[in-house]
Structure formats: structure tokens, C-alpha cells
Chains A and B, each alone.
Chain A
Amino acid sequence: MRFFRFWWDFVVGDDWLAAAGVVVGLAATAAAGVWWILPPVVALVLAVSLRRAAR
């Protein structure tokens, strides 16, 4: 359990929504095959993550 906890913290960190947002952005990119989806998704994910942290 501690092993999985360590890797979860290492890769996902303290905001799982950011990691989930990345997965959603990549899934949309793979489905549409276009480059312009991921940058705005990442920008939105970062802004939302910071807003949650700043509360």
C-alpha cells in the first residue's frame, strides 16, 4: 500500500484533478488527431488547479 501511495504522490501529486485533466485532454487529442486541443486544456487545468490551491 505504501508502495502505491509513494508512486501516486510522485506522479499525480496533491491535485488529482490536474492529472485527470491531462488524461481527458490527451483522450480528446487522440480522438480528434489535432494539436490545438491540448495547449488550452493544459492552460485551463493549471488555472483551475491554482484556483483550488489559492482558496
Chain B
Amino acid sequence: MVEALTIVLASGLTRGWRSSLTGVGAATVALAAVVAGLGPALTVVPIDDLRLVVGALLLTFGLQWLRKAILRASGLKARHDEEAVFAQELRDAETAPREEHAGLDWYGFTLSFKGVFLEGLEVAFIVLTFGSTQGSIPLAAVGAAAAVVLVALVGVAARAPLARVPENAMKFAVGVMLTTFGIFWSAEGAGARWPGGDAALLAVLGFVVLWSAALVAALRRRRVAVAAA
């Protein structure tokens, strides 16, 4: 969502707010249609099958997030520099040719639409998976909408990319949570029963956190050793 805000700010400042905000609105409607279309379909799938598929997807998704966050935390991958991304987006948007469709600047519209839709698809995926396995997609959607509103309000107040947000720490936490729920649900969906029932989720969480921290420490040591050699 932070990345989407950066793109929309760059688009709005250079190509005009009307086209950019129309792109944001169109992307929001498209994302709502994805959630509204897939949500009811997921509720008719048997819960164990749903947990297996959703858990497996969460796990592959979570491992992607965790892998990148661990590489950034250990210094092996550059941290996401929101100000640099913003400056690049501004340069690209300023030099792009102007083309109008239906009274809208097409570059500004598509830039905002793609930024919000592609970033929002991750959020929609999390809403659908968490909401469907817990039996309340609307509640999960309300939680996601609240987060979107909060980011938008902070962005409007700051009128600058959210460069001071501890983005990697947040992504690390999301990766840990997705991986934890992914392990828990997919194993249940595959027919395993966790000792202690839902309380085992905390043990899985602890395991994922400790293992991730150990990997960060190991990669940092390796980076230092390679640099010293």
C-alpha cells in the first residue's frame, strides 16, 4: 500500500489529480469486484480443502515475503528506498507523452490504476484467504479498508512518500504471519492435527520468528566474512 501511495502521488503531482484519482477509483472498484466475486464462491468449498489450498498459497506467498525481508535485514539486498522510487516515478511521469482518452490523461490513469490494482491484489488475496478460512470475508475486508484509509490519510497529510515507515520490519512481520498461518492451515487441510489445537499456532509463530532471526544472523555473519576476505 505504501508503494501504491508513492505511485499515485507521483502520478497526481505530474499528470494531474483528476486522471490519477480516477485510476485509483477504477482500481478500487476492480479489487472490490474480485473480493465480491471470489468471496461467496470460497464459502461453499469444504473447510479442509479450503485450508489446504489457502494454506499452501499463503505459505508460498509468505515465503516470498520472508525471503526478501531476511535478505534486506541481513544487508544482502538493498532496502526499498521510497524516496528514490518516488523521484524515479516523477521523472518517468514528467517525460511521458500526453495522450487523452475520455478527457483523462491516459498515462496518469493507467499508472495509478496499475499501481493500486497490482499492490491491492496482494491485499485482496490476504482478505480472501484469511476471511474465508475464518468464515468472515466482510470483517477481513473492513480491516483491509481501514488500513487503506489510514495510509491514504497519512499520505494526504504528508503529501510525500512514506519514507520513514519501517517498511522492511512491516514486511518481515507480514511474511512471518503469512508463513505461520500457511504452515498451520495447510497441515490441517492435509489431514494433520496439531497438538493443543489452535494454541499450536503460537508455537508455530515462535518457530518461524526464531528460525528467521537465526537466518538473518547467519547471513550477516557470512556477509561480514565475505567482505573481510
A15 touches B183 (CB 8 A): no
Contact residues of B between 186 and 229, Cβ < 8 Å to A: 186-187, 190-195, 200, 204, 207-208, 211-212, 215, 219, 222
B190 touches A46 (CB 8 A): no
User: Across the interface, which residues of B come within 8 angstroms of A33, CB to CB?
Assistant: 190-192
What is the predominant secondary structure among interface residues of chain B facing chain A?
helix
User: Across the interface, which residues of B come within 8 angstroms of A43, CB to CB?
Assistant: 207, 211
B191 touches A29 (CB 8 A): yes
Contact residues of A between 22 and 55, Cβ < 8 Å to B: 22-23, 26, 29-30, 33-35, 37-39, 42-43, 45-47, 49-50, 53-54
Given contacts A50-B215, A54-B222, contact A35 B63 (CB under 8 A): no
User: Across the interface, which residues of B come within 8 angstroms of A39, CB to CB?
Assistant: 183, 204, 207
Partner of A42, one of B52, B59, B193: B59
Closest A residue by C-beta to B57: A11
Closest B residue by C-beta to A18: B63
Rounded to whole angstroms, the CA-CA distance of A30 and B132 in the bound complex is 22
- The residue in B64, B186, B207 that gathers the most chain A C-beta atoms within 10 A of its C-beta is B64
Partner of B219, one of A30, A35, A54: A54
User: Across the interface, which residues of B come within 8 angstroms of A26, CB to CB?
Assistant: 52, 56, 186-187, 190
For chain A, give the interface size range. 20 to 34
Q: How many residues of B contact A (CB 8 A)?
A: 34
Given contacts A26-B52, A50-B70, A53-B77, 10 further A-B contacts (CB under 8 A): A13-B63, A22-B60, A22-B63, A29-B191, A29-B192, A30-B190, A33-B192, A35-B192, A38-B190, A53-B67
Residues of chain B having any CB pair with chain A under 8 Å:
52, 56-57, 59-61, 63-64, 66-67, 70-71, 76-77, 121, 179, 183, 186-187, 190-195, 200, 204, 207-208, 211-212, 215, 219, 222
